Chains A and B, each alone.
Chain A
Amino acid sequence: MKSIIIVKLDDVIDCSTVDVLFLIIDLNLQESKMHDSSQLKKEFIKKWVQGLQICCSSKRQMSILERKRNIKLSADIALASAKNATTSWSKALISEAKKDREKNILVDNLLGHESKFMGAHQKVTSHNRIRSKKILRRSCGIGKRIKKMGYRRSDSPTCIAKRLVKKRTQVLKRLVPGGESMDEFSIITEALDYILSLRVQVDVMKNIVNATNLLN
């Protein structure tokens, strides 16, 4: 597999950047079993390489940490943007990046005109208001319940199972971007898609790291 990469790259020194990209994508596709992800891979590679050219091509010397942050940010933004606002996590990822002052400029450069549609600041704040009201109401209700029921409820195995599921769901909500404001059904569908997309990201990054390693 490695030798094939070297030969093919030598053959295409004269070709454009995009041609070499699609060559790497073809090598990726041959390995991937899931056909749904091929479209996502193409979009991600295209956008990520564009992003890297924007943020890594500055003439001044970047520290390794700074370069790494740029690489990671452009990869995450490229992945989210390749979803084309079809999932909640991708929209949340982009709007979270835009909130950070340092990242905001880079995100605007990476996304260009797209970033205007992705800003979801207002939606998030109204979610927070609704959430805090719900939390207040829930905490009042729980206080009353504890006084009435005592410790009998916690003995039932189904209650323990439910509590475990609730606990794990809360953890998952923190891991998936934008998960805090999702209900049980959405968090599972979003997590499914998020995992598939993360796998695409890891696959592509691995291949590019290996290719760069071989060239060194």
Chain B
Amino acid sequence: MSTRRSRQSSTGASRITDDQIIQLLSKLQQLLPELTNRRTNKASASKVLQETCNYVRSLHREVDDLSDRLSQLLSTIDAGSPEASIVRSLIM
């Protein structure tokens, strides 16, 4: 039963939303830092997807790196300084 439903929806979706997929890919392309410098129509679907994956991975790495730096900063704050009390009331 679920296969019949999914088959119907997949063929229905491919008939109606091919253009939508192309539109979505161009929207995605505008977000990517690597591909916005060139003219918008040049990048192929596989290139857009590849750059998307690379961008998501780099964003993950940035979050990881920033968490690292923040944890180091928070652990080295002098306990008694007035600045520490600001940060402590803010974050800790």
Seen from chain A, the residues whose Cβ lies within 8 Å of a Cβ on chain B are: 9, 13, 17, 20-21, 49, 52-53, 56-57, 62, 64-65, 67-68, 71-72, 75-76, 130, 133-134, 137, 161, 164-165, 167-169, 171-172, 175-176, 183-185, 188-189, 191-192, 194-196, 198-199, 201-202, 205-206, 208-209, 212-213, 215-216
Is there contact, CB below 8 Å, between B92 and A21? Answer: no
The binding surface of chain B is classed by DSSP as: helix
Quick check: is B50 within 8 A (CB to CB) of the other chain?
A: yes
Is there contact, CB below 8 Å, between B20 and A75? Answer: no
Is there contact, CB below 8 Å, between B56 and A172? Answer: yes
Is there contact, CB below 8 Å, between B92 and A56? Answer: yes
Q: In the complex, which residue of chain B has the Cβ closest to the Cβ of A189?
A: B24
Q: How many residues of B contact A (CB 8 A)?
A: 49
The binding surface of chain A is classed by DSSP as: helix
Quick check: is B44 within 8 A (CB to CB) of the other chain?
A: yes
Instruction: Using A56-B92, A188-B25, A215-B87 as known contacts, say yes or no to A198 and B59 having CB atoms under 8 A apart.
Output: yes
Instruction: Using A195-B56, A195-B59, A205-B70 as known contacts, say yes or no to A184 and B49 having CB atoms under 8 A apart.
Output: no
